[in-house]
Amino acid sequence: MAASLFLLLAVVFAFTGGNGPWVMIATIVLAAAAGTRLPDLDTPLRLRHRSALTHGILPLAVALLDHRTWPVAAGLGFGIGVHLAADLFPGTMRGYATIKLPLWGAIGVVPSYLWIAINAAANLVGGIVVLERIATQRVVAGALAATGVLGAAYLLRAQGGWPALAMLALLGWLMTR
């Protein structure tokens, strides 16, 4: 339930903390920390594991509904994107590991890989786009550095994290070239 606490703190910062650079960075980092765990709230919420509702771009989209929570949306994009990157490398993609759509059920192996890859990319790109729209270059740099460290720490512990970390590092390197 740490995800819920981090998300709550991020939303409180977004509504009451002002627009100072350190408050914005703290909001983004708290939301990113929440995002690394938020997809797995599907089970306590009585959704099936790997529910499309939590393993997709929906949480980021909901946070975009109010301009004041755009820093939360950016952080959620980074955190959920990192979580989904690790989900691309399960021990085996069947049953428990496949994406479940509400009222439909499991979508199968290949569609699950596609869902996870597309939504991981959409969350990460969405986080970057939102961040660049709301923050100065210094805040962008600080937020990216902090969420990068947070994401790497998460991936070093997560199942499938090492290959995901290597993949994201390669993509990051290619983007900066």
User: What confidence score (pLDDT) does residue 109 get?
Assistant: 92
DSSP string, 137-148: HHHHHHHHHHHH
**Banded model confidence at residue 96, pLDDT cuts 50, 70, 90:** confident
Return d(Cα 126, Cα 124) in angstroms, integer: 5
Tell me the pLDDT tens digit for each residue of 43-89. Answer: 888 888 889 999 999 999 999 999 999 999 999 999 999 999 999 99
Alpha helices, DSSP H only, in 38-63? Answer: 58-63
User: What confidence score (pLDDT) does residue 2 get?
Assistant: 80
Tell me, yes or no, if the pTM score tops 0.85. Answer: yes
Q: Which domain holds residue 133?
A: 2-176
What's the number of domains the chain is made of?
1
Tell me the pLDDT tens digit for each residue of 123-169. Answer: 999 999 999 999 999 999 999 999 999 999 999 999 989 999 999 99
Q: What's 51's DSSP letter?
A: B
